Amino acid sequence: MTERINPQITEKIVQALASYLKRDPASITEAHHLRDDLGLDSVAVIELLFEIEERFKLQIPDQDLPGLSTVGSVAAYVQRRLAEPQGSSKPESPKSKTPSIKSGSKKSASSRSTSANPLPPNWPQRN
């Protein structure tokens, strides 16, 4: 069940780590644990993952963070995410987003003045 990870992905991740840690990239392997072996704390892991998001142009949802503990697991994750179709990179459905002002409830829309002015009654009115 071991997946073959693209060496270019691993190389970019190792480069990001080496730059962050000011270490020789050759001293970092896929087996290294981000915290235990490389000494990254929680903040450093978040900063590293932000750098990886920038380099690979993807977003890493918070719920995926616990599985990213080694250099290899980060590389495998990035490879899986890059292989996904473009539209599936956002797990949120449109319904879960905060509603915009335009989509207010019908009750609030009907309680407004019947004029064409969309501003609440206590705001300065347009003429």
Domain residue ranges of the chain, discontinuous segments joined by +: 7-84
- Determine the Cα–Cα distance for residues 42 and 48; give it in Å rounded to an integer: 10
- Structure-token match 């009115």, residue found: 125
In this structure, are residues 31 and 72 in contact, taking their beta carbons and an 8 Å threshold?
yes
Percent of the chain whose pLDDT exceeds 70: 65
Tell which wins on pLDDT, 114 or 69: 69
Superfamily of the domain at 7-84: ACP-like (1.10.1200.10)
Q: What local confidence, expressed as pLDDT, does residue 100 receive?
A: 43
**Polymer length of the chain:** 127
What residue type is 94 in one-letter code?
P
Q: What local confidence, expressed as pLDDT, does residue 88 receive?
A: 52
Q: Provide mean pLDDT across the span 64-85.
A: 93
Percent of the chain whose pLDDT exceeds 90: 56
